[in-house]
Amino acid sequence: MSTITTKDGTEIYFKDWGKGPVVTFSHGWPLNADMWDEQMLFFAQNGFRTVAHDRRGHGRSSQASSGNDMNGYADDLAALIEALDLDSVTMVGHSTGGGEVARYIGRHGTKRVAQAVLIASVPPLLVKTPNNPEGLPLEVFDGMRSGLAKDRAQFYKEFARPFYGANKPGSNVSQGLLDQFWIWSMQSGLKNAYESIKAFSETDFTEDLKKFDVPTLVLHGEDDQIVPVKNSAMKTARLVKGAKDTYYPGAPHGITATHQDKINADLMTFIRSNR
């Protein structure tokens, strides 16, 4: 297996495909690097080096007891980038992974970063607060934690449907895609997935986004039931100077799978236009 070991002894699994300009991929909760396979294959076949890792506590990485927060996630990503000596990186993040990218730039800067892409991402802040009245009530995330602790297997089966919009009339989401989501989710550690809910919902990325000084693309589905577009992408696009934002009518949260060809094409156009 391809792994690095972080300063606290956590093993981080990664896959590294292709040769050429580097694109890194940070996955959403509670999945792993495999959610990016279609994007990684596409870019590897088109002259790029693609790198994706399993976040600590997810997939094939160690189920660490600590560090299950955005600072820990960002530092793990930094450790991977340093270990592989990656430079002029296009950083792509989906959902929680978008928060990981934002916090990486906030903590580690852009000396190794050429551009950034946030897809259906959680920044700037997901939970409702006095300063973020449009956010989701804390009770939503408390319910998620309760569902995990009680019966995570059933919770993930039910969560997959709104994730991909399979609960909408006329949906053509396959059973295989839903099953795949469950398999990936069950590979995450219960403690890790549980603590990650606080990380992705309560972390305020406002100051991180203000530090972006590279070309940035924001992509989001207009019918995202997990990370509502008005409270995330539309605010992010205003906070990141010069950001380009694209919205997909009727598209769900799991847009990298349901709109794979469109996402790949828009990513390719953006990456090539800024190199």
Would you state the pLDDT for residue 1? 67
Answer yes or no: 224 catalytic. Answer: yes
Q: How far apart are CA 147 and CA 241, in angstroms?
A: 38
- Distant-in-sequence, close-in-space partners of 266: CB < 8 Å, separation ≥ 6: 217, 219, 246
**Mind listing the pLDDT tens digit for each residue in 169-186?**
999 999 999 999 999 999
Would you state the pLDDT for residue 274? 83
Give the start-end residues of each E strand in 36-169.
Answer: 49-53, 89-94, 113-119
Would you state the pLDDT for residue 156? 98
The answer to whether the CB of 120 falls within 8 A of the CB of 95 is yes
Catalytic residue among 27, 53, 94, 253: 253
pTM (predicted TM-score) = 0.98
Would you state the pLDDT for residue 74? 98
3-state secondary structure of 89: strand
Would you state the pLDDT for residue 195? 98
Answer yes or no: 253 catalytic. Answer: yes
Q: How far apart are CA 203 and CA 106, in angstroms?
A: 13
Show the low-confidence residues of the chain (pLDDT under 50): none
Answer yes or no: 108 catalytic. Answer: no
Would you state the pLDDT for residue 83? 98
Catalytic residue among 62, 95, 188, 196: 95
Q: How far apart are CA 5 and CA 84, in angstroms?
A: 12
User: How many CB atoms within 10 Å of residue 197?
Assistant: 20
Residue in 192, 57, 186, 197 with CA at minimum distance from that of residue 126 = 197
Catalytic residue among 185, 224, 259, 266: 224
Measure the CA angle with vertex 273, ends 271 and 275; round to 5°.
70
